[in-house]
Structure 1
Amino acid sequence: MIGRSNLQEPVMPRYVAFLRGVSPMNAKMPEVKKAFEKAGFTNVKTLLSSGNVVFDSPSKSETALARKAEKAMQEHLDRSFLTIVRSTKALSELIDADPYSEFRLPAKSKHVVTFLREVPTAKLSLPIKLNEARILAVRGQEVLVSYVPQPGSPEFMRLIEKTFGTEITTRTLETVKKCAAA
C-alpha cells in the first residue's frame, strides 16, 4: 500500500504591487485585478481603490514582477501605471521594526512610506524639512516621511519628489499595514 506523503504544497510568496497615480477616476480595481490575473498572478486582491494589488507569484525579483504587472496593465487596460513591488514579508518586517518610534514627532503627524524603484545613490543629510514635512530616514528602497497636514498643501509630496524624483509611490503607514496583512 502506498502511504500519503506528509509533504505540503509549498506556499507561494505573496507580494504587493503599489501603483502610482491610481484613483477610482482613472482605473477600476476589478479591471486592474483581471489584468494581474491574466498575467498569471494568483490569489489577486485589490485594496482601497488607490492602486494596491496583493498577489501570489513564484519567487522572482521585485523588479521583474513590477515589469510583468506594467506590461499586463498596458495589454489589458490600454494604459499602465508605474509599479513598485514589495513582498508582504518585507513589509511586515518594516512594520514590526516600528520605524517611527525612534523619532520625536508632533502628535498630529501622519506617517508615510515612500517606495523607490532603486536604492538612492546620493548621500542625504537627514532629516530634510519643508515646513511641517520631514524626510526622516532612508532604509534601502523605503523612505520614512512624516508631516503635519496643512489645509490645501501637499508639501510632503513636493518634498519627496524634489528629493527622489517621480519614479516613486507613497502610502500611509496604515495602508502599508493593511497591504502586508492581506
Structure 2
Amino acid sequence: MDYIALLRGINVGTSVKINMKELKTLFEQCGFSNVSTYINSGNVIFKSHDKKNSITENIEKALHITTGNEVKVLVKTKSEMVKIANSIPGDWRNNDNQKTDVAYLFESIDTENIINELPIKKEYIHLIYVKGALIWNVRREDYNKSRLNKIISHKVYKDMTIRNVNTARYLATC
C-alpha cells in the first residue's frame, strides 16, 4: 500500500534536524520500499504491507534511535491524502493575497469540534474540516486579525502537523 509519513517539527526553526537523504535511508532500513522524500520538512512517500499503527511505531522508534529525540509521525494512506487534497477549494492558494494551509490532525484531536477549540476569530478565516485534517484559508491582510498565529501556543498544536497548500496538493499526486 502507498503511504505518506508526515514528520512533525523536522527542520523547522530550532527543531530536530535531519538530512532527507539520511531520512530516506532510515525508511529503507525500516523495510519500506519505493521511498522518496519531498522538500526538507519531513514528508516521506513509501510503500509497505504493514498496518499504519505498526508503521508509525517503527518509524518513531527508528527516529528516536537515530536523532535522540522524540519525533511524532503521522502516517496517512495515499487515498486519505487524496481525499484531503480534493477537499481544498481550487481557488485557495498561497499568493500575495491569501494563505492556505492544511493542518493534518493526529487521532487525539481528529474531530470536527476541533474548529471550536482553536483560539481564532472565525469571521476572518475560512475553515474546512475533513477527516484527518483542518484546512484554512485567510486573506493576507486579515492574517493578524484572524489570530491564526495563536494556534502555535494552543494545547492542540502538538497534535497537528501543518503543510502549505502546495505541499498538500503535491503529496496527494505523488
Q: TM-score, normalised by structure 1?
A: 0.73
Pairing 1:139–2:130 present: yes
Give CA deviations for 1:40-62 in whole Å, capped at 9, x if unaligned: 1111111111111111011513x
Are the structure 2 counterparts of residues 127 and 50 from structure 1 closer, same or farther at C-alpha, using a change threshold of 3 Å?
closer
Match of 1:179 in 2: 171
Aligned length: 165
Match of 1:7 in 2: none
Pairing 1:75–2:65 present: yes
More helix by share: 2
Counterpart mapping for 1:126-165 below 5 A: 129-130=120-121, 134=125, 136-149=127-140, 155-159=147-151, 162=154, 164-165=156-157
Pairing 1:93–2:83 present: yes
Question: Secondary structure of the equivalent of 2:83?
Answer: helix
Conserved 8 A contact 1:127-1:136: no
Report percent identity of matched pairs: 23
Q: Which runs of 5+ in 1 are unaligned?
A: 1-12
Are the structure 2 counterparts of residues 127 and 76 from structure 1 closer, same or farther at C-alpha, using a change threshold of 3 Å?
closer
1:114 to 83, 103, 126: 103
Give CA deviations for 1:88-117 in whole Å, capped at 9, x if unaligned: 1221122234x33699xx982221111111
Conserved 8 A contact 2:119-2:148: no
Give CA deviations for 1:102-145 in whole Å, capped at 9, x if unaligned: 99xx9822211111111238474499744896361222221111
Are the structure 2 counterparts of residues 127 and 179 from structure 1 closer, same or farther at C-alpha, using a change threshold of 3 Å?
same
Q: Which runs of 5+ in 2 are unaligned?
A: none
Match of 1:56 in 2: 47
Are the structure 2 counterparts of residues 124 and 22 from structure 1 closer, same or farther at C-alpha, using a change threshold of 3 Å?
closer
CA RMSD of aligned residues (A): 3.5
Deviates more, 1:141-150 or 1:36-45: 141-150
Are the structure 2 counterparts of residues 157 and 46 from structure 1 closer, same or farther at C-alpha, using a change threshold of 3 Å?
farther
Are the structure 2 counterparts of residues 74 and 129 from structure 1 closer, same or farther at C-alpha, using a change threshold of 3 Å?
closer
Question: Secondary structure of the equivalent of 1:23?
Answer: coil
Match of 2:158 in 1: 166
